[in-house]
Structure 1
Amino acid sequence: MALYYVAHRLFAAHDRALGAYLAHHLARRFGPEAVFLPFCDTDEENLNHPRKGRRLFELDSERLARIDAMVAILHGPSLDDGVCMEIGYAAGRGVPILAVTTDFQVYGPTADTALRLPFPDPLLQHVVDRVISVPQLGPPGGDGDRFERFLAQNLHAITRAATEVVDALAGGFTPAPAMLPPSVDDQPLAYLEPSPYGDDSGTTRVSDVLRARGFATHHAARFVNAAADPTLTAIQDWTALAHANLAVVDIRGPETPPGAALVIGACAATGRPVYAPDPGSWWTFAHGREPNYRNLMIQYGLTSTFSDLDELAKRLEA
């Protein structure tokens, strides 16, 4: 029996309800045992463990290591970093990925570009096998006040998206090649994922540390040159990651940037070390969990963080 993993934002009731709605549609077609829904199937609400966040990461990773396809719900310009990490994990294993969105916005690198992408990072566009997009409301009409009618229009769009997901999975997929472990015969390669939000000087200093220790480096470049085609650069970045021995990613920001989260997931799936500067963000607290400085899929997917370049050098030598 095939196993399908539903990746979704899960920190509020409406997000969990959307994930459950999609999982319900999948279960009706393929059977309940064919679907894994995080939070629900880890019984997060009632799970009692001294390191609950770590245990949840382990439970989700156990499923990610043996799924046959992933359905990832992505919406809005600030994509959930845990979902993006899970997508990277699946992509690293060569698992087919369906991305589902009802977002009415599309994205491009400049105001006057002809390029329009469904997500604000072209690396996502590259690693997913298919994007199921239902950006418009359902047909108007029906009974009730205007709010009931508006709700029905939104539910129609969600139902249509779920139906298209079921049909796509029923049609079958061809898995992509999984990432292989990097060669130990060549000069080691370090993949560097800078922040898409600005200053790249920190990545340059990290590169100097790595080069001093014999590494060649690849700087992810899909956000560097707006004149270049970022979809082609994304392919180059992913190819470089597939040959890298380790990765250093910038996870700073309100949430881990999508590309950094993808890299963390792919490295976790293939046993590559991945390091990140301490994000310096506020900590999060949830019932029964230990405090987390990032989404638990990010925090525990990382090999370690570092506070400065000297600490990174020590991590590399450990």
Structure 2
Amino acid sequence: MSQIYFASPLFSEMELNYNAQLVKQIREKYTESTVFLPQEQGDINDKQSYADSMMIAKADTEAVLKSDLVVAILDGLVVDPGVASEIGVAYQAGIPVIGLHSDQRHQGADNQEKLDALQNVAESQFPYVNLYTVGLIKLNGEIVNTSQELIERISNYI
């Protein structure tokens, strides 16, 4: 039985609902795998309770290190700092990562007007993802841009 660690922000209602919905789809397709979803770990991630930084770091790091694959949600203004840390732990341990970056601004990469806009300061039509974090993923995994593609690609790693 393989273990998948689901790394994602988990602070807003939108994030919690999205995580639960996507993990449900993964669990339905990969019934032979277990998915570790940090928001389900009430002892350290119930935000009404108390867990200090060392408790959180220890519990999540142990869960990453027990995993065969990390699924990392890269969406947002920046990659969530906790997700970036989990990606770093996975990279160091040789655990593959599939990143999901579904930002729709990637559309039109062949649109000349969007490409020309790159020559004007602050007019980029494309999102930015930290290249160090992207590199860690690509050295031992991949990045996809839809949740359905993510779900399909899991089978390549477990």
> Deviations for 1:227-252, whole angstroms, at most 9, x for unmatched residues?
xxxxxxxxxxxxxxxxxxxxxxxxxx
Cα distance in 1 between the residues matched to 2:33 and 2:142? 24
Note the C-alpha offset of 1:165: 1.9
SS in 2 for 1:125: helix
Note the C-alpha offset of 1:17: 1.2
**Equivalence for 1:132:** 144
RMSD: 3.0
SS in 1 for 2:149: helix
State, as a whole percentage, how many aligned pairs show the same letter: 23
SS in 1 for 2:67: coil
Cα distance in 1 between the residues matched to 2:54 and 2:48? 12
1:127–1:118 CA distance, 2 compared to 1 (3 A):
farther
Residues 5, 70 of structure 2: 8 Å contact kept: yes
**Equivalence for 1:71:** 71
Note the C-alpha offset of 1:26: 1.3
Note the C-alpha offset of 1:2: 0.9
- Corresponding residue pairs, total: 142
Cα distance in 1 between the residues matched to 2:101 and 2:20? 15
1:34 aligns with 2:25: no
Cα distance in 2 between the residues matched to 1:46 and 1:100? 25
Q: Which residue identity lines up with residue 151 of structure 2 in the other structure?
A: V
Note the C-alpha offset of 1:11: 1.1
Cα distance in 2 between the residues matched to 1:4 and 1:75? 19
Note the C-alpha offset of 1:56: 2.5
Cα distance in 2 between the residues matched to 1:3 and 1:119? 30
**Equivalence for 1:45:** 46
Cα distance in 2 between the residues matched to 1:123 and 1:85? 12
Structure with greater contact order relative to length (CA < 8 Å, sep ≥ 6): 2
Note the C-alpha offset of 1:102: 1.7
Aligned pairs for 1:190-229 (under 5 A) are none
1:105–1:14 CA distance, 2 compared to 1 (3 A):
same
Q: Which residue identity lines up with residue 14 of structure 1 in the other structure?
A: M
**Equivalence for 1:171:** 156
Cα distance in 2 between the residues matched to 1:103 and 1:67? 27
**Equivalence for 1:81:** 81
Q: Which residue identity lines up with residue 88 of structure 1 in the other structure?
A: G
SS in 2 for 1:34: strand
Note the C-alpha offset of 1:166: 2.2
Cα distance in 2 between the residues matched to 1:46 and 1:11? 8
SS in 2 for 1:3: strand
Note the C-alpha offset of 1:3: 0.6
Note the C-alpha offset of 1:88: 0.9
> Deviations for 1:104-151, whole angstroms, at most 9, x for unmatched residues?
235x9x9339xx9864322222221211113xxxxxxxxxxxxxxxxx
Note the C-alpha offset of 1:39: 1.8
Q: Which residue identity lines up with residue 64 of structure 2 in the other structure?
A: L
Cα distance in 1 between the residues matched to 2:128 and 2:27? 27
Name the TM-score, length of structure 1 as normaliser: 0.40
Residues 2, 32 of structure 2: 8 Å contact kept: no
1:28–1:66 CA distance, 2 compared to 1 (3 A):
same
Cα distance in 1 between the residues matched to 2:157 and 2:129? 28
Cα distance in 2 between the residues matched to 1:118 and 1:125? 13
1:52–1:82 CA distance, 2 compared to 1 (3 A):
same
Aligned pairs for 1:177-188 (under 5 A) are none
Cα distance in 1 between the residues matched to 2:29 and 2:41? 18
**Equivalence for 1:255:** none
**Equivalence for 1:213:** none
